[in-house]
Structure 1
Amino acid sequence: MVPDNLRAGVTKNTRFETVIPRAYLEMAEYYDTAIVPASVKSPDDKPNAEGSVKFATTWILAALRSFHFFSLAEAKEAAAQKLEELNNRPFQKRVCSRRSAYETEEKEFMLPLPEGPFEPAVWATAKVPNDYCVSDRINRYSVPFDLIGERVDIRITKNMVEVLFHGSRVAYHMRLPKAQRDPVVIPEHMPEAHRKYLSYTKDSFLSWAEPIGPYTLQTVRHFLMADKEPEQGYKYCASLMRATDRYGRTRIESACERVLSFSSVPTLRNIQTVLKNGQDKVPLNSGPQIPVSQAKRCHGITRSADAFRKGGINI
């Protein structure tokens, strides 16, 4: 059976050019043959091939029209037997049969077939998006990240997804039959920063935070457990690791301690603010002590009822 993408035959055939579909041309190259289109309108050379096919089909179907088959295998076997009978049947105007004519006139010009049958492919063209993944309409597959914004050719078969750029293959993936949540990504296709992200796990972040101190460990645990999935907190943990490279472990531990002293929900923004302002360098509970006598007289803007009793307090 000829696949649907090969039924169209020649797209365009004029005296100036012949346009052949890519999948059809690929099949011809695979079998090391050439496609010679027939002339337009009423070609005299076309019936030579199609007439024989029509005659064989009509003869076999007419011979089997009274038979009943209960499986496709039985029908195929019967058709094959009738085809052998037709090939050995003598011509009416020649002293030979179709088989003997093939063996004496055509067989020596036949080329050996490839080891495997041709696998039809669907071709498509797409622009590589920012996530450097292309789609086969079921799953998404990675290409080298430096092709972002470029147009590539995608060759899709039953078991393979192949990506070509300017005629050269740049990516190759085994095609997945079922839809997957995550794209199929080859680490070599990713930039260095994205490649490092693949190595992140919940346990790796906890192992990194534990030697720094209990407050950093508590902060990292909050990042990993605040949402439904630990992966949602990977970004904050990674940013905290980068901040450690800049400020050092001691300052990170002090900043986490200060943020946790006034909030049970630490945020990366608060930690970065403490580090930028240097508040982590100031010990906790080290502010100047206000005498009790002055504390009673200093009410700020808001005053209680005592401030207005018996004329208030002289300030």
Structure 2
Amino acid sequence: GASNYTFACASWSQQSEDWLNAHAKAFAFFGGVPEIVVPDNLKSAVRKTDRYEPDINPSYQQLAAHYQTAIVPARPYKPKDKAKAEVAVQIVERWIMARLRHQTFFTLASLNQAIRFLLEDLNQRPFKKLPGSRASQFAQRDKPALKPLPSQPYQYTDIKQARVHIDYHVEYDKHYYSVGHHLVKQVVEVQASDNTIAIYHHGKRIASHPRSYRQGAHSTCVEHMPRAHKEMQEWSPERFLSWAGDIGVETREVVNAILQEKRHHEQSYRRILALLSNAKKYGRDRLNNACGRALLIHSPTRSSVESILKQGLDQVPVETPGNAEQEELNLDHHENVRGEDYFH
């Protein structure tokens, strides 16, 4: 502004997050927001330079919307478009950077603390030919023209485009977030803050997730799943055991045996569903009898139970030592058997 009131801070880089957070610090330092911000054409500000219609970085546009200000980049190779900024750079180099050049700082915070001290000295230094200082002139001339700061603090949001994978998830920072399954292969916009992931399609928010920093993991909403996946989500070992128990004790034992075969129960769910579906085809009693026979032969598997049902073995009495003994007793009293007295 007219006062040349100066702000400076150190950051790790000129990447988008550092660049935009520096804006937030500057606005807080000034205690207000100007009508127009005139930046240079670095990538964090402008995606594609153009003399008349520069393509502003979406994250930068979002910052401008938050502070209700306009971004008007300087024209390429036209330093006079931001003459005040060019002069401020020279002042900071002479009055701050030069005075710190022999010091070593081990943290960014300690460097910024030293900068703040020298910045205060710079802005309070009296002008040589004009009355007052940068600070006093700012309070009189520039501060009244600033718009108030927004009530909510600015939070950096990274904005990127992503394509929805075949599993209806999009990847951001090596974590996967779900969207509606009907958007598979569509391009969406991911807006990521420190705490939230918001996903947009054609300007409409379609999903929102708490941000996760677990790489390779998935954040999935049930409402985004296709019907078949929703049904699988509702399955559990307890539900299958209860369902099998309604058919019979033997069926429950077979289901429990199938569940114990795999390290992860989910790997057994489809086989159990196939097993229990035989109750519709053969009836509950036959299925339970077949499960009982499978347990007797120590083969409690879906394939064994279905083989028993197909061959009708569930309807054949099982041979046991007790049955064989009873058959011998019955033979002793048959009319065609003469008995031991006949031979004496």
Give the TM-score, by structure 2 length.
Answer: 0.70
Closer/same/farther in 2, CA of residues 139 and 87 from structure 1, 3 Å limit: same
RMSD: 3.0
Which amino acid in 2 is paired with 1:41?
A: Y
Task: Give the match for residue 18 of structure 1.
Answer: 54
Give the C-alpha shift of residue 45 in structure 1: 1.8
Is the 8 Å Cα contact of residues 141 and 173 (structure 1) preserved in structure 2? yes
Does residue 87 (structure 1) correspond to residue 123 (structure 2)? The answer is: yes
Q: Is the contact made by 1:254 and 1:281 (CA closer than 8 Å) also made in structure 2? A: no
- Structure 1 equivalent of residue 180 of structure 2: 144
Give 1:79 shift. Answer: 2.5
Name stretches of at least 5 consecutive residues in structure 1 with no aligned partner: 287-315
Report if the CA contact (8 A) 1:60-1:79 is conserved.
yes
Per-residue CA distance 1:131-181 (angstroms, 9 max, x = gap): 212222332221122222322111222222111111111111111223365
After alignment, is 10-19 or 215-224 more displaced? 10-19
Counterpart-to-counterpart distance in 1, 2:120 and 2:154: 25
**Mapped partners of 1:156, 1:71: distance in 2:** 27
Residues 96 and 21 of structure 1: is their aligned pair in 2 closer, same or farther, counting only changes over 3 Å?
same
2:20 matches 1:4: no
1:115/1:257 CA distance change after superposition, 3 Å: same
The 3-state SS of whatever aligns with 1:134 is: strand
Q: Larger relative CO (CA 8 A, sep 6+): 1 or 2?
A: 2
Q: State whether residues 133 and 141 of structure 1, in contact with CA within 8 Å, keep that contact through their aligned partners in structure 2.
A: yes
Question: Is it true that 1:195 corresponds to 2:230 in the alignment?
Answer: yes
Q: How does 1:204-283 map onto structure 2 within 5 Å? A: 204-244=239-279, 248-257=283-292, 264-268=299-303, 271=305, 279-280=311-312, 283=315
Range with greater deviation from structure 2 (6-15 or 166-175): 6-15
Q: How does 1:72-111 map to 2 (within 5 A)?
A: 74-111=110-147
AA in 1 matched with 2:83: P
Deviates more, 1:117-126 or 1:128-137: 117-126
Tell me how many residue pairs correspond in the alignment.
Answer: 282
Match of 2:71, SS state, is coil
Q: Distance in 1 between matches of 2:195 and 2:117?
A: 34
User: Are the equivalent residues in 1 in contact too, given 2:51–2:76 (CA < 8 A)?
Assistant: no
Task: Flag the 1:135–1:53 CA change in 2: closer, same or farther, 3 A.
Answer: same
Q: Match of 2:301, as an amino acid? A: P
Check conservation: 2:123, 2:135, Cα contact below 8 A. Answer: yes
Q: 1:185 aligned to 2:220?
A: yes
Q: Which amino acid aligns with 2:179?
A: V
Amino acid at match of 1:99: A
Paired residue secondary structure (1:163): strand
Query: Which string of whole-angstrom CA distances, capped at 9 and with x for unpartnered residues, describes residues 47-96 of structure 1?
Result: 32232133124302334456676766554333322212211222234323
> Match of 2:234, SS?
coil
Distance change (3 Å), C-alpha of 1:26 and 1:257: same
Q: Does 1:28 align with 2:64?
A: yes
2:80 alignment partner, one of 35, 40, 44: 44
Change (3 A) 1:51 1:273: farther
Q: Give the TM-score normalised by the residue count of structure 1.
A: 0.76
Report the 3-state secondary structure (helix = DSSP H, G, I; strand = E; otherwise coil) of the residue aligned with 2:246.
coil
- Please report how far the alpha carbon of residue 107 of structure 1 lies from its aligned counterpart in structure 2 after TM superposition: 1.1
**CA deviation map 1:242-261 (0-9, x unaligned):** 44456542343244456567
Mapped contact 2:47–2:56 kept (Cα < 8 A): yes
Q: Which amino acid aligns with 1:25?
A: Q
**How has the CA–CA distance of structure 1 residues 30 and 273 changed in structure 2, closer, same or farther, with 3 Å as cutoff?**
farther
Question: Does the 8 A contact of 2:196 with 2:209 survive in 1?
Answer: yes
Change (3 A) 1:176 1:46: same
**How big is the shift at 1:114?**
2.7
Matches within 5 A, 1:135-174: 135-174=171-210
**Which segments of 5 or more consecutive residues in structure 2 lack a partner in the other structure?**
1-10, 20-41, 319-344
